[in-house]
Amino acid sequence: AKAGVMAKTACSKYYGVLVRQTESEQLEAFGEIEASLEKFATMLPGEDSDGSNSKGGGAGPFFMGRDHPGLVDLTLFPWAWRFPVFETYRDERFKIDPTKSKGILKYSNWLAAMCARDDVARTLPVWDEYLDHIGRYADGSARSKVAN
C-alpha cells in the first residue's frame, strides 16, 4: 500500500513537472512531489523536520530504517534519480534542495545511499544521455501517450 501511495504522490508527478508547459501546473506538481518526499522522509532514520525522531524501525538508511532497499525504496528510486532533470529543463525553483528542510535532507541522504549501492549503480544510464533523451518531453516535442 505504501509503495502505491509513493507511486501516485511522487512518481506520477514527475511528468506533471516535465511535460506540462504551463508554469502553474509545473509548480503544482513539484509541490506535490516535495510534500510526498517530506512524508517519505518521516519513515527514514534521523530527526524529522518537526524535531521528533524517525518513525523508522532500524538504523539503516532505507525505508523504515532497513539495511537494504525494500519495495517502497525501489518504487521511488527510479523517479528520485530523475528529479534533478527539473533543474536543467525548468529552473532553480524546481530543485530538490537538501538545505530546505530536515525531511528533504533525510531524503537526499537516502538517495545517496541508494546510488552508492553497486546493484543500483550498474542499472543507471549515463546522465548526459538521459538528459538528451528526456529533453523532448520537457520542450513538448515528444509524441507519446505519456507526453500527450
Beta carbons of 112 and 81 less than 8 angstroms apart:
no
For residue 147, what pLDDT band results from cuts at 50, 70 and 90? Answer: very low
Residue 58's CB is within 10 A of a number of other CB atoms, namely 12
| Cα distance between residue 85 and residue 82, in whole Å | 6
Question: What distance in Å separates the CA atoms of residue 117 and residue 140, rounded to the nearest whole number?
Answer: 34
pLDDT digits (tens, 9 = 90+) for 26-83: 999 999 999 999 999 999 987 666 666 656 567 899 999 999 999 999 999 999 999 9
105-133: pLDDT as tens digits: 999 999 999 999 999 999 999 999 999 99
The pTM assigned to this predicted structure is 0.88
Give the three cell numbers for residue 98.
537538501
CB atoms within 10 A of CB 123: 10
The three-class DSSP label of residue 77 is helix
- For the chain, domains (ranges, CATH) are 2-138 (1.20.1050.10)
CA–CA dist 60, 133 (Å, integer): 34
